């Protein structure tokens, strides 16, 4: 074997049982080597006879592979000089998926949307020792084992396609359990037909909004608002009208003024633990908002993502539990109850609305994992879920108190916050001019991740971040504040 030939016999694996013809396997193997940089543009491949003996294959197979690669532009075959890896290969990215504009650093082709500016490729991120999130539950205290065990049992059943047939709106068991659970905890007056199970609460908001918004619709949102909801409404063609949020929640008088002048298609509101500020709508404003909804026939998406986690007072009842003639669509999350990886949310509405919404949802998601949904339904049915929530509330209340005590010790001039009545995060604002990106960088140097405020900096006078406390145990919290103090 020639001295400058790679050990292709070891580099290219041939599977004689594969459905893929052997010559294509050779060709694919060579493509991988080129793309990995193992063989580079201009590299001379061994002649077919030599390659054949190296791979213990027939020579015609190698000729076929070289022909294929030459046709695809990977190789240049010259009658006299031999077979070379093409010098016109694309650089980093594969050619077939790379538009010419990309290589030249121009914006991509014009046939698709630009959603946002693409950031320059960021350097490889080191794993962090500790991460401060946006307000996630602690999956370590969730009864995930019980879910998997139930799932296994179901998956081994002889015949389960029955469950799959009726899954457009979610597993019937889970819809029933949710109807009971939400009736008991939120006084929602619902049955299974009012429940649509979705893969995450975002899909519930997406589905409800897609049912209501048309291009040109106007949607009322809070000025400081859950960012992805606003972006979604704009994507669907809506114009946003923003109202202020203060310590009592959104300004409902402003909502009424808008309704007097025009006919908005939708109000999006987060009555409990408003995102990002964590304020809760006051009882007085709640009553007034219900009047406005009824008087102006104003459709509402009520996003109540962590109702179950209230520590000081009892939560106010959702708008959806009052009389609203089907105008309030209610969104909740099981991801917030169990673990951020568990993607389950729900949309509650009138039975016709939910039926139509389940048809629309199919266009993005035909169904969820019905067995998984059945397993979570079982968790409600046995009471494990309810016990888990009670236990979590106790634990998270302690964590909130420890977190807020530590925050307070930093000095009220520096980190401003109001201890939240519920939820999993504290909204902290910093003095004007204090650089959160710099803070975030110093924390990263200590192995701690904290968002640098970019998630919330959609208004120039906001310099804050949501700091999630629920997923940090006491040790982790101490470690965070140790690093935090040294980084200020």
Chain centroid, CA 271 distance in Å:
22
Torsion of the alpha carbons at 283, 286, 292 and 294, rounded to the nearest 10: -110
Question: CB of residue 418 vs its own copies: minimum separation in angstroms?
Answer: 20
Q: Output the smallest distance, CB 337 to its own copies, in A.
A: 14
User: Closer to its own copies at the Cβ: 241 or 410?
Assistant: 241
Which of 246/312 has CB closer to its own copies? 312
In this structure, what token pair is assigned to residue 132?
A: 């401060």
- If the CB atoms of residues 240 and 322 are measured against its own copies, the closer one turns out to be 322
Q: Is 24 exposed, middle or buried (0-12, 13-18, 19+ CB in 10 A)?
A: middle
Of the pair 1, 164, the CB lying nearest its own copies is at: 164
Residue 394 CB, shortest distance to its own copies, in Å, is: 10
| Minimum distance of its own copies from residue 249's CB (angstroms) | 20
Taking the C-alpha atoms of residue 269 and residue 280, their distance in angstroms, rounded to an integer, is 11
314 with 111: CB under 8 angstroms? no
As measured in angstroms, the least distance from the Cβ of 413 to its own copies is: 30
SS3 220: strand
Choice between 260 and 390, CB closer to its own copies: 390
Say if residues 373 and 197 touch (Cβ distance below 8 Å).
yes
Please state the closest distance from residue 5 (CB atom) to its own copies, in A: 23
CB closer to its own copies out of 1 and 366:
366
Q: How far is the CB of 393 from its own copies (least distance, A)?
A: 7
How far apart are alpha carbons 337 and 389 in whole angstroms?
7
Phi, psi of 467 (to 5 degrees): -110, 115
Residues 6+ apart with CB under 8 A from 60: none
Of all helices (H) and strands (E), which one includes residue 243? strand 239-243
CA 50 → CA 26, 62, 195, distances in Å?
14, 10, 67
Q: Which is nearer to its own copies, 224 or 448 (CB)?
A: 448
Q: Which residues on neighbouring strands pair with residue 446, listed in sequence order?
A: none
């Amino acid at each position: 074997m020639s001295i400058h030939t790679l050990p292709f016999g070891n580099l290219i694996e041939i599977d004689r049982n594969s459905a893929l013809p052997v010559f294509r396997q050779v060709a694919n193997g060579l493509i991988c080597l080129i793309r990995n940089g193992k063989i580079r543009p201009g590299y001379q491949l061994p002649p077919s006879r030599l390659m054949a003996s190296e791979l213990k294959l027939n020579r015609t197979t190698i000729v076929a592979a070289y022909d294929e690669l030459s046709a695809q532009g990977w190789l240049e075959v010259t009658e006299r000089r031999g077979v070379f890896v093409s010098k016109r290969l694309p650089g980093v990215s594969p050619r077939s998926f790379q538009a010419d504009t990309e290589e030249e650093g121009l914006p991509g082709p014009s046939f698709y949307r630009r959603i946002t500016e693409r950031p320059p490729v960021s350097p490889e991120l080191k794993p962090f020792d500790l991460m401060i999130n946006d307000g996630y539950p602690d999956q370590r205290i969730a009864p995930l084992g019980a879910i998997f065990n139930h799932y296994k049992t179901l998956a081994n059943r002889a015949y389960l396609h029955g469950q799959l047939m009726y899954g457009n709106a979610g597993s019937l068991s889970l819809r029933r359990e949710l109807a009971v659970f939400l009736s008991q905890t939120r006084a929602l007056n619902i049955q299974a037909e009012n429940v649509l199970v979705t893969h995450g609460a975002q899909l519930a908001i997406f589905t409800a909004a897609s049912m209501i918004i048309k291009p040109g619709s106007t949607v009322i949102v809070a000025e400081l608002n859950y960012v992805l909801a606003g972006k979604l409404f704009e994507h669907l063609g809506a114009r946003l009208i923003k109202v202020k949020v203060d310590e009592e929640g959104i300004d409902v008088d402003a909502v009424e003024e808008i309704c007097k002048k025009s006919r908005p298609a939708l109000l999006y509101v987060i009555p409990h633990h408003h995102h990002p500020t964590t304020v809760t709508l006051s009882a007085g404003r709640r009553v007034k908002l219900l009047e406005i909804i009824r008087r102006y026939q104003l459709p509402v998406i009520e996003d109540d993502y962590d109702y179950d986690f209230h520590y000081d007072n009892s939560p106010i009842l959702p708008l959806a539990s009052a009389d609203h003639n089907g105008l309030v669509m209610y969104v909740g999350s099981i991801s917030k109850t169990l673990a951020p990886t568990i993607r389950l949310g729900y949309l509650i509405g009138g039975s016709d609305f939910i039926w139509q919404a389940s048809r629309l949802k199919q266009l993005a998601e035909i169904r969820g994992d019905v067995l998984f949904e059945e397993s979570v339904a079982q968790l409600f049915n046995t009471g494990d879920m309810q016990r888990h929530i009670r236990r979590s509330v106790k634990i998270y209340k302690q964590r909130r108190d420890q977190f807020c005590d530590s925050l307070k010790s930093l000095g009220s001039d520096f980190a401003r916050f109001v201890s939240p009545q519920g939820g999993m995060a504290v909204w902290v604002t910093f003095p004007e001019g204090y650089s959160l990106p710099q803070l975030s960088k110093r924390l990263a140097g200590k192995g701690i991740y904290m968002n640098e405020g970019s998630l919330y900096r959609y208004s120039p006078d906001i310099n804050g971040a949501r700091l999630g406390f629920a997923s940090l145990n006491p040790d982790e919290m101490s470690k965070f504040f140790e690093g935090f103090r040294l980084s200020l």
